Amino acid sequence: MAIKTIRLKAGKEESVLRRHPWIFSGAISSVPHYIEEGELVKVETSGGDVLGVGHYQIGSIAVRMLEFGVDSLPDDFFMRRLESAYALRGKLGLIRPDNNCYRLVHGEGDFLPGLVIDIYGDTAVMQAHSPGMHFARGEVADALTMIPEARIRNVYYKSDSTLPFKAGLEPENQYIIGQYDGNIAMENGLLFNIDWLKGQKTGFFVDQRENRALLERFARGRRVLNMFCYTGGFSIYAMRGGALSVESVDSSAKAVALTDANMELNFPGDNRHTSHTEDAFKFLADMDNDRYDLIVLDPPAFAKHRGAIKNGLIGYRRLNTRAFEKIKPGGILFTFSCSQAISREMFRLAVFSASVKAGRKVRILHQLSQPADHPIDIAHPEGEYLKGLVLEVE
């Protein structure tokens, strides 16, 4: 089948020439008849010069570019991209006997817009964010099992919450290859039950790996409070780091059960840990002053799109004000935002105004971000989402 052509309006090729992978619908002058969502299309300038090839979609982002300067893709396109993604994770030292979970594909950051793949041992959990990647799922899954060193035996496809609702595609959560429920993966020598069937996202937040490892180094002799604990990642690193006590809080009973199970897996019978199923804001309001000297705030994204920035910032300010008010003098606060719409500067300003409100003197010790297996294509700054601060509160 011949590949269809999408032509841009005059002057709208600038960002594509700079290799930004998104083409907005407003830049397009004509879309061919009978085009299907998810179809591979060739993109041309108004003058007919080839710009590249991408997946078409109805919506504000109309094309997600897969390759620039070509008018078709080679048959082994996915295989090559996946091999190069795998090679990068190897280079980063993430594939080791004591670490078998990592992000293999981070969408635009791996030049595969619309696709996310996390690896847990010999299982890959794959999410499509675009119809194009949804239709390519079988091909991607086959290519995954063909990277010889990766030894992937199972591919679980989980896209019911990531595909655009309007595309009207049948959501799908199922194994494409193999089947294995109940995997235990290892991160920096610590064990985690990964529930990709029922858990959030791909079952685990791989993106906090390095920030958890940093927390471990601060934990010795401290009383730790891990808010929004989900699978208990920060709590388990704090235990290994020699914390005096660790408390984990999440409003979801399922998350607290996951934390407890992971704690039992790594520190069976260790009574330094307790967990609470409670709303974070209520917990912070009710807790005593000076009770904790290491607090982690890793909430869900408060601003899921640009329109929510203002309220999101209010949320971050409120949350951080509470922590500043209650943390023990000399305490350490790890505070995060995973809202893509909120910039590093905006987040820092919200945390600054929280410190003013609480009347605490605060120093920035570390500025944190997403790890290298969540790379950011320099042409696509929207790929930066995770930011964090490690603060000393006098």
Between 22 and 192, CB nearer to ligand SAH: 192
Between 150 and 236, CB nearer to ligand SAH: 236
**Would you tell me how many other CB atoms lie within 10 Å of the CB of residue 132?**
23
Taking CB under 6 A as the binding criterion, the range among 185-193, 231-239, 323-331, 343-351 that sits at the site for ligand SAH is 231-239
Question: Is there binding between residue 230 and ligand SAH (CB under 6 A)?
Answer: yes
Question: Is there binding between residue 321 and ligand SAH (CB under 6 A)?
Answer: no
Q: Which of residues 253-292 bind ligand SAH (CB under 6 A)?
A: 255, 279-280
- What pairs with residue 247 in β-bridges? 225, 274
Rounded least distance, CB 200 to ligand SAH, Å: 6
338 is catalytic: yes
Cα distance between residue 354 and residue 358, in whole Å: 6
Residues whose CB is less than 8 angstroms from the CB of residue 75 and which lie 6 or more positions away in sequence, other chains included = none
Question: Is there binding between residue 233 and ligand SAH (CB under 6 A)?
Answer: yes
Q: From the list 100, 193, 202, 208, which residue makes contact with ligand SAH (rule: CB under 6 A)?
A: 208
Taking CB under 6 A as the binding criterion, the range among 41-49, 223-231, 317-325, 378-386 that sits at the site for ligand SAH is 223-231
Residue 48 to residues 13, 14, 29, 44, Cα–Cα distance (Å): 11, 14, 12, 5
- Residue window 16-35: x/- pattern of binding to ligand SAH, with contact defined by CB under 6 A: --------------------
Between 255 and 350, CB nearer to ligand SAH: 255
Rounded least distance, CB 104 to ligand SAH, Å: 18
Residues whose CB is less than 8 angstroms from the CB of residue 359 and which lie 6 or more positions away in sequence, other chains included = none
DSSP letters, 41-55, are: EEEE-TT--EEEEEE
CB contact burial 286-315 (16+ within 10 A = b; e otherwise): ebeeeebbbbbbbbebbbeeeebbeebbeb
Question: Is there binding between residue 113 and ligand SAH (CB under 6 A)?
Answer: no
Between 19 and 318, CB nearer to ligand SAH: 318
Residue 246 to residues 85, 306, 355, Cα–Cα distance (Å): 36, 35, 24
**243, 338, 386, 391: which is the annotated catalytic residue?**
338
Question: Is there binding between residue 161 and ligand SAH (CB under 6 A)?
Answer: no
Between 77 and 234, CB nearer to ligand SAH: 234
Question: Is there binding between residue 298 and ligand SAH (CB under 6 A)?
Answer: yes
Cα distance between residue 141 and residue 145, in whole Å: 7
Residues whose CB is less than 8 angstroms from the CB of residue 117 and which lie 6 or more positions away in sequence, other chains included = 103, 104, 105, 124, 125, 126, 127, 140, 144
Taking CB under 6 A as the binding criterion, the range among 62-70, 125-133, 229-237, 379-387 that sits at the site for ligand SAH is 229-237
Question: Is there binding between residue 228 and ligand SAH (CB under 6 A)?
Answer: yes
Between 208 and 266, CB nearer to ligand SAH: 208
Percent helix / strand / coil, the chain, rounded to 5: 30, 30, 40
Q: Which helix (H) or strand (E) holds 158?
A: strand 154-158
Backbone angles phi, psi at 156, to 5 degrees: -105, 125
Residues engaged in binding ligand SAH (CB under 6 A): 205, 208, 228-231, 233-234, 250-252, 255, 279-280, 298-300
Q: What are the catalytic residues?
A: 338
